[in-house]
Amino acid sequence: MIRTANHAPADYRHRPERPVVHLDWLERLQRNVMGRFELNPWRMKLRQKRFLATVKSQSEGIEKRAESELLQRARQLGDLIRQEGFDDRLLAEQFAIIREMSGRILGMRHFDSQLTGGWIMVQGRIAEMKTGEGKTLTAVLPVISAALAGLPVHVITVNDYLTERDAEEMEPLYRCFGLSLGVILHEVDLPGRRVAYQSDIVYITGKELVFDYLRDQMKLVHKQPIRMQMASLHSTHVESQLQLRGLHFALVDEVDSVLIDESRTPLIISGTQGNEEEQSFIETGWELSFQLQEETDFLVNKDRREVDFTEVGRKNIQTLSRELGPLWKGSIRREEIIQKALLARFIYQLDIDYLVREGAVELIDPLSGRVMEGRSWEKGLHQMVELKEECELTEQRITLARISYQNFFRRYLHISGMTGTAWEVRDELWRVYQLAVTPVKPNKKELRIQVASRVFNENDARWEAVAERCRELVKEGRAILIGTASVAESEVASEYLKQSKLAHKVLSAKEDKEEADIVIEAGQPGRITVATNMAGRGTDIKLSPSVKEAGGLHVILTEHYESSRVDRQLAGRCARQGDPGSFEMLLSLEDQPIRSLRGKSLLPTCRSLGISSTAGQKAALSLLRAEQQFVERQNYLARQSTLEYDHKQKELLAFAGTVD
């Protein structure tokens, strides 16, 4: 789906982006001190109030002005903003016009909270707006303001569904202002992307954007001086091969998901290694893994998701591979491929780490529960999982280009975003991206009720309690959303509900195409929806009048997720925009890995006090929270490791035409 307007092609040699600067320890200290000031929630309160007052004064009598007059003034303001910058006085008048036109075209006028959120993003900050505050409509304020000022704008979302939905909803307003819109989905081909990027405003997912950027940089990687001179003679030809017009102005929706959760692993463009000898090497490694014995030859650590060889195991691998040919001569190579086979057998699990659909292995995002389209594991692991699931073996992938999310998004000249949950990671967002988080007061008072959490010793007891709660709430005419951590857990929950004769719908990576329809129905009386993690994030669950009267949507979290932010996101699905609603946690200690020192110290206390006692419940909840904090820390270290790797590999940064 592409909507475009004609534009003169940009000169590929002058595609603006911010150079990535590596700071020394003193500069990092200065930035951190500055962050303490920037992250103060009261830092911009006075300016916000003044800005809202100016918008209000600019809005007086605006409803009587003709559409043509307003649009002409908006274009004039765009020219002034391009010359003078995002001055509050100019922005206030522009926001007033956008709000008025939104009311006329879309039938929706911005609340003060949305005006505040839009203003915060123009400042190059992150607006933390509560779930259900209307972030899609908020985004048009900075987007239109920047586009009218002549800046190419990228609106970055978390998945193709939201990309297409948000663009379609806002397109009439953009068209009214004379702005062209490009929408890039996964299936759009390269010529279509090229056309879309020429639009004033482009809606796209972060993954698709970074891959397009990498493809451009691969074409420019050989930009040596003599080559540049030759290229200048054929700029039209070079230009026709490139996609982006530079990294000018980005607005990131669900910014914590894109900039934090997805940044643990780099974005990699890979090619196939179509070598029969390599494929045979992988298959042989899979077979050899079955000739090794756990505990004797290798140790499996499921908590850390690792497999380590013993000295006995290394000697056995050497003996088993002695007559297998030249690929098996190197100890590092042979041990690595057999380790990948053991990881596939003992660590990576069906319907948790991946699913099999139409004979192909597809990776599952651990945080969203969605399939990661086009992604595969590196260095033979993907092929090992294919052998495990008896799928057709794909060719091994080799890395052609890579960049971390952190190093990519720091290249934008102006970047901002919005989300409902950024405060917990505000320090990291400032330290990595120099983005300050500013909370926005909700439009209506929150009516969300938190029911006391409960912890059970066994999974069976937990699921029985979930079923019993659903039975009670269905009788009350409530709607229920049950949050699980994986596809497998969703299926377990579904089985318990079936045994209790409770009708329900399951929303997971296997039903991603039906996501919107399932979410639309999730607010009906007696409706039970089982969802993995953040499935349905970004879509409102509309409550029927009878459900509102009965108490609204009730959310049940069946375990702590990898981040407390995800817990808060799921709880935030209820009680939106002043609606009633409630949530509770029903958790289990069974299969809970105890990895943190605090968790290990709390476990004996839980056992001695007994899970049924009040003190035992408090100790169990503290234990589970300690484990969640441990995982949060590990994920943070993984993100830092990805960033540090990019810093060390300077040749990778040469994809942008410079070596920093």
DSSP conformation letters of 71-138:
HHHHHHHHHHHHHH-S-HHHHHHHHHHHHHHHHHHTS----HHHHHHHHHHHTT-EEE--TTS-HHHH
Q: Would residue 7 count as lying in a domain?
A: no
Q: What's the start-to-end Cα distance of the chain, in Å?
A: 37
* Domain-embedded: residue 626: no
Last residue of a domain, one of 548, 564, 591: 591
What pLDDT, on a 0 to 100 scale, did the predictor assign at position 401?
79
Residue-averaged pLDDT of the chain: 86
Residue 544 belongs to some domain of the structure: yes
Same domain, 185 and 282: no
Residues 385 and 503 in one domain: no
CB distance 320 to 288 below 8 Å: yes
Judge if pTM exceeds 0.85.
no
Task: Tell whether 635 is covered by a domain.
Answer: no
Domain membership of residue 609 (yes or no) is: no
What CATH number has the domain bearing residue 152?
3.40.50.300
Query: Domain check: are 328 and 422 in the same one?
Result: no
Q: Does some domain include residue 128?
A: yes
> Domain check: are 409 and 333 in the same one?
no
Mean predicted confidence (pLDDT) in 430-442: 92
Residue 453 and residue 361 share a domain = no
pLDDT, position 408: 93
Cα angle 256, 257, 259; round to 5: 65
pLDDT surpasses 80 at 236: no
SS3 content of the chain, % helix, strand, coil (to 5): 50, 15, 35
Judge if 175 and 241 occupy the same domain: yes
For residue 262, the 8-state DSSP code is G
Mean pLDDT in residue range 558-586 = 89
What CATH number is attached to the domain comprising 316? 3.90.1440.10
- Give the mean pLDDT of 205-229: 74
**pLDDT tens track for 151-189:** 999 999 988 888 999 999 999 999 999 999 999 998 899
pLDDT at 492 (0 to 100)? 92
| 634: Cα separation from own chain's centroid | 18
In percent, how much of the chain has pLDDT > 90?
51
Domain contains 190? yes
Total domains in the fold of the chain: 3
pLDDT band at 29 (very low <50, low <70, confident <90, very high): confident
Domain enclosing residue 213, as ranges? 24-266+405-439
Q: For the residues 411-431, what does the mean pLDDT come to?
A: 93
Alpha-carbon separation of residue 626 from 304, 594, 597, 600 (angstroms): 16, 9, 9, 10
Backbone angles phi, psi at 542, to 5 degrees: -80, 125
Name the band, by pLDDT with cuts 50, 70 and 90, for residue 651: very low
Residue 458 lies in a domain: yes
H or E stretch covering 418: strand 414-419
* Residue 323 pLDDT exceeds 70: yes
Examine the domain organization and report whether 192 and 215 are in the same domain: yes
540, 571, 591 — which closes off a domain? 591
Same domain, residue pair 420 and 459: no
| Residue (of 387, 575, 402, 375) closest to 479 by Cα position | 575
Q: What is the DSSP secondary-structure string of 271-297?
A: EEE--HHHHHHHHHHHHHHTTS-BTTT
pLDDT given for residue 276 in this prediction: 75
Residue linked to tokens 């049924």: 612
Same domain, 425 and 361: no
DSSP state of 642: H
375 and 471 part of one domain: no
Domain check: are 107 and 145 in the same one? Answer: yes
Of 265, 163, 261, 171, nearest to 208 by C-alpha is 163
Contact at 8 Å (CB) between 367 and 562? yes
Instruction: Give yes or no for residue 16 having a pLDDT over 90.
Output: no
339 close to 310: Cβ distance less than 8 angstroms: no
Examine the domain organization and report whether 33 and 160 are in the same domain.
Answer: yes
- Residues 295-316: tens digit of each pLDDT: 999 999 887 788 999 999 999 9
